Amino acid sequence: MQPTGATLDGRDGIFTLTLRRPAVLNALNVALCREVAAALARVAADPGARVLVLTGEGRAFCAGADLREREGATLEALWAHNRSIAAIPDALERLPVPAIAAINGPALGGGCELALGCDLRWAAETAVLGCPEVTRGIMPAAGATQRLPRLIGSSRAMALVYTGAHVTATEAYRIGLVDAVVPGGRLMPAVLEVAGVIAANAPLAIRAAKQAIRAGIARGLEEGLELEGRLQRQLYETEDCREGIAAFRERRAARWVGR
């Protein structure tokens, strides 16, 4: 019997976090959100972590908030549910290592917002994405109103949010919402392949690059450039930097030590 909730598996620094509520298209209830948050904290604290892959069990990535949990709920309970979902893309952004969304099926509402919190998004050909909250009397409030315009531009983001429309994987790729579209059966092998490429690079350099990009997006150019320079200077002092230069000179694969 398949476990329900969320499972975290890791090998060679590549962690796969799987949402496992397939009977409800991996809809996000508070319990699942807590499990996901705990799993992300484990990855963040692991010095051997290199990449995180986030995906869903069954035919969906994530259908968003579990609305059954909201029926008859108090305002405080509704807001707590919302905050538990919003905490996940926030944690994905703060994760020290790159996060890749492997969108194996519908990624709607909060599910789309989880994908937006990742650094890269790869989608199966059959996937659909969207923010349909306005059709339920609410609006996206787990980061989509802020992350979506930064990713695809304000006009396209407003069109998606205001209409509540779903877009196909092909259209999502065209507008820059996803980075690649692959046949469904090839999705995880393709994502794990790119994860392996990332994991083979210098781990401290990858972590520094993510920090520079993520922090720079939220700051002005001048502050971002200052941070970039400061992080690069720190990397120059590492054993991995010296190893990278030696490996290039000796025409061999680098042996990273993460120091």
Q: Taking Cα atoms as reference points, which of 160, 196, 195 lies closest to residue 179?
A: 195
169 Rama sector, left if φ>0, alpha if ψ -120 to 50, beta otherwise: alpha
133 is catalytic: yes
Cα torsion at 127, 121, 19, 133 (round to 10°)?
A: -70
Question: Active site residue: 113, 193, 222, 239, which one?
Answer: 113
| DSSP secondary structure letter of residue 17 | E
Compute the distance between CA of residue 167 and CA of residue 112 in angstroms, rounded to an integer.
11
Compute the distance between CA of residue 142 and CA of residue 207 in angstroms, rounded to an integer.
25
What are 57's two structure tokens? 């069990």
Compute the distance between CA of residue 128 and CA of residue 172 in angstroms, rounded to an integer.
8
69 is catalytic: no
- Please give the single-letter amino acid code of residue 156: R
Give residue 142's Cα distance to chain centre.
Answer: 13
Question: How far lies 5's CA from each of 31, 137, 219, in Å?
Answer: 8, 27, 36
Going 127 to 131 to 133 to 134, the CA torsion angle's sign is negative
Compute the distance between CA of residue 126 and CA of residue 106 in angstroms, rounded to an integer.
8
Question: Active site residue: 57, 125, 133, 239, which one?
Answer: 133
Positions marked active-site: 113, 133
